[in-house]
Amino acid sequence: MKKMVKNLAICLVFVVFVSCFKAEKTFETAHKLCENPTELRKCPDVKGKIILPRNYPARSIYVGFSNDKYHLDFLDQLISLVSQLETKPMLNILVPRLEDIEAYDQLKKYFNDTYQLINLIPTSSNETVWAQDYMEVLLDTKSGKSEIINLPYFGREGDYIPISVGLSCQKNMIDQPLYPTNAPLPGNGDYGGNIDALTSKVVMLGNNMTNQTYELIEKSSVQKIVEVNVEWLETGHVDEIITTLPLEKNASDCDQALLVASPKVALDIVQNKTKDLTSFSSEFKPFYVDNLVWPSRDKCLLFNNQKDPDCIEFTKVNLWYERIIQKSLDKVQNLIQAEHGCRLKEIHFPQLFIPLEKAQEYGLYEDRAVPLNPNAVNNIFFYPYLVLPQQEFEPFQSDIEMKLKNLPHKIEYTNSKFVHELNGGIHCATNISYACTP
């Protein structure tokens, strides 16, 4: 009898042990949804939760679906690049409810074992293109686990996408703050493109963000905030003027470059590299309001037109924007130096902007300036791939290629016609979640 009781006790202990083991296993599996669970680079020596910068490995990529031809080509290119990586981040495609049939038809070619990196997330949204703007991913450096910051998208098609991601990926979510009825409603300045982690200790925000969203980021992340001037832009996001590029695999915070949108570089190219050009015609259709009639999209890119009154004003405007961007760049470098003891290398890309209309003074909210050429700063990076929008204007493309040719990355270019014509970029259309191992 004693022997039977002893055996029964051993069995009970075994059952309890197995039950506990299974419970732990289930928890870990739930965490692996929507992301590659492979052990990655060690987390930075920062206590608390942060938005990881680009010098950490990508664990998951969120990208919206659209049936537009150029966006489908971009999706295919992205899938191809990710599939070539040794450690593949999960590629989560956000499917709008009105395009589920089109998504099935276009993506079923990937329904096989070769493309297990792809995960489809149905959403209740009518539109999912601007994946960068709906949410931020916050990481706990102690546990290595991530959660979603649900950003305000009031009255827009993507308002409930973070909830769809939270449900599908079983992730905790930090909800939107309450916005008082007598306070300004959130707008473009509160979206994810206006939040960019530059280092493990520094996050960059735009100066057009509501106090409520600013405080949400301030409370969620332990990173120091540097605020830059983007209120003169129509979209008004920090990823239009400055971002980072790690200079090697697993780069330190100081071993990065700042990629900077530079009107002055663009104007210098027009002055010095276009004397033999007699014409240039863009295939892009500008997404302007009806009363924006100056200048023509192509005229002021040519040296021979620089004495035209419109082009004289166009030059004046962009030199004004150059000064604004430079002041923001100085603020970024100063905070990085204060936090890390270094100043980052700078790579300035040619970028021109067009304000809504002519004015006596520029750099104001009323400018609503839009990018004339595809914005090379608005790019995506997952080591070793740097993906940038192809420039239509060959002198700009040559300048960018020359500045990147000695870097160890694999440089890819893509046709950004779809998002550029909507005053966005390829970074706006993706949301890369970087990760680390505690």
> What is the rounded distance in angstroms from the CA atom of residue 233 to the CA atom of residue 371?
9
Q: Are 64 and 429 in contact (CB under 8 A)?
A: yes
Q: pTM score, two decimals? A: 0.90
pLDDT of residue 27: 33
Q: Which residues contact 221 (CB under 8 A, 6 or more apart)?
A: 48, 49, 50, 51, 138, 203
Q: Spell out the alpha helix ranges (H) of 248-388.
A: 263-273, 309-340
Nearest Cα residue to 214 out of 182, 180, 186, 183? 186
**C-alpha Rg value of the chain to the nearest Å:** 24
pLDDT of residue 53: 98
Give strand ranges (E) for 198-241: 202-206, 224-228
Which stretches of the chain score pLDDT less than 70? 1-32, 154-158, 286-297
Q: In the structure, how many helices (H) and strands (E) does the chain have?
A: 10, 19
> What is the rounded distance in angstroms from the CA atom of residue 395 to the CA atom of residue 34?
41
Q: Give the class (CATH, top level) of 49-268+310-434.
A: alpha beta
> What is the rounded distance in angstroms from the CA atom of residue 381 to the CA atom of residue 27?
30
End-to-end CA gap in the chain: 50
Q: Which residues contact 32 (CB under 8 A, 6 or more apart)?
A: none
Phi-psi region of 423 (alpha: psi -120 to 50; beta: other; left: phi over 0): left
- Considering only the C-alpha atoms of the chain, give the largest distance between any 2 of them, rounded to a whole number of Å: 106
Q: Checking DSSP bridges between strand 224-228 and strand 202-206, what pairing results, if any? A: parallel
Nearest Cα residue to 189 out of 163, 221, 154? 154
pLDDT in tens, 333-374: 999 999 999 999 999 999 999 998 889 999 999 999 999 999
The residue ranges of every structural domain in the chain are 49-268+310-434
From edge to edge, which strands make up the β-sheet containing 195-197?
A: 195-197, 202-206, 224-228
> What is the rounded distance in angstroms from the CA atom of residue 36 to the CA atom of residue 63?
16
Q: Are 302 and 317 in contact (CB under 8 A)?
A: no
> How buried is 355 (Cβ within 10 angstroms: 0-12 exposed, 13-18 middle, 19+ buried)?
buried
Distances from the Cα of 7 to the Cαs of 4, 10, 17, 181, 284, in angstroms? 5, 5, 15, 68, 78
Count the neighbouring beta carbons within 10 Å of the beta carbon of residue 175: 13
> How buried is 205 (Cβ within 10 angstroms: 0-12 exposed, 13-18 middle, 19+ buried)?
buried
> What is the rounded distance in angstroms from the CA atom of residue 432 to the CA atom of residue 121?
15
